[in-house]
């Protein structure tokens, strides 16, 4: 049976609580930054190193005061910025980040963006017209996407 968290992750969280007293660190089911000032981190884990990377990434969001985004490409920019901040934090806390892991994480956002931006009619990559709408410059189709970044990118064609 896995431990709730590793001693190394626990000690890092305790140090982060001291270094960033304005941020609340809460054990949860996943890693996430909540713009109300909370960082969720996993209770159970299979890969403690990845958990440490993810924790530093979420702290990067917190330090950069990331809130929300209007267009999908902005989310990718926020993710890149949080990983850049995680690199700085890793150096400060003596952690060596795995660039392959970071690129895998960023690839999940790139794939998400690619799927959402692909026209359901002609398969051309298109630009986002508004927060939940895309318009194809090739065939003129319009489609809606959900605002959620945590679910499968369904596309509802509107024309």
Q: How high is the pLDDT of residue 151?
A: 54
Which residue segment(s) compose the domain that 134 sits in? Answer: 120-159
For the chain, first and last CA: distance in Å?
A: 53
Indicate the pTM of the whole model: 0.86
- Same domain as 59, residue 132: no
Q: What is the pLDDT of residues 76-99, one digit of tens each?
A: 999 999 999 999 999 999 999 999
Residue 149 has a pLDDT of 65
11 with 86, same domain: the answer is yes
Residue 148 shares a structural domain with residue 73:
no
Find, among 71, 86, 70, 72, the residue nearest to 33 by Cα: 86
Euclidean distance between CA atoms 23 and 140, whole angstroms: 46
**E strand map for 4-119:** 24-28, 32-34, 38-42
The C-alpha atoms of residue 158 and residue 14 are separated, in whole angstroms, by 50
Q: Is the same domain home to 109 and 36?
A: yes
| pLDDT at residue 4, as a whole number | 47
Is pLDDT of 119 > 60?
A: yes
Q: Which pLDDT score, from 0 to 100, does residue 8 have?
A: 87
51 and 92 in a single domain? The answer is yes
Residues comprising the chain, all counted: 159
Give 16-50 pLDDT, tens digit per residue.
999 999 999 999 989 999 999 999 998 666 788 99
CA 24 to chain centre: 18
Q: What is the pLDDT of residue 150?
A: 59
């Amino acid at each position: 049976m896995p431990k709730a968290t590793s001693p190394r992750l626990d000690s890092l969280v305790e140090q982060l609580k001291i270094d960033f007293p304005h941020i609340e660190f809460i054990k949860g089911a996943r890693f996430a930054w909540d713009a109300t000032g909370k960082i969720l981190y996993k209770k159970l884990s299979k890969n403690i190193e990845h958990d440490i990377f993810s924790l530093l990434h979420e702290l990067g969001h917190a330090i950069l005061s990331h809130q929300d985004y209007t267009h999908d490409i902005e989310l990718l920019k926020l993710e890149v910025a949080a990983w850049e901040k995680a690199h700085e934090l890793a150096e400060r806390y003596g952690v060596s980040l795995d660039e392959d892991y970071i690129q895998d994480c960023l690839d999940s956002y790139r794939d998400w963006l690619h799927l959402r931006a692909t026209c359901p009619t002609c398969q051309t990559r298109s630009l986002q017209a508004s927060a939940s709408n895309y318009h194809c410059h090739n065939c003129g189709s319009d489609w809606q996407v959900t605002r959620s970044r945590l679910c499968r990118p369904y596309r509802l064609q509107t024309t």
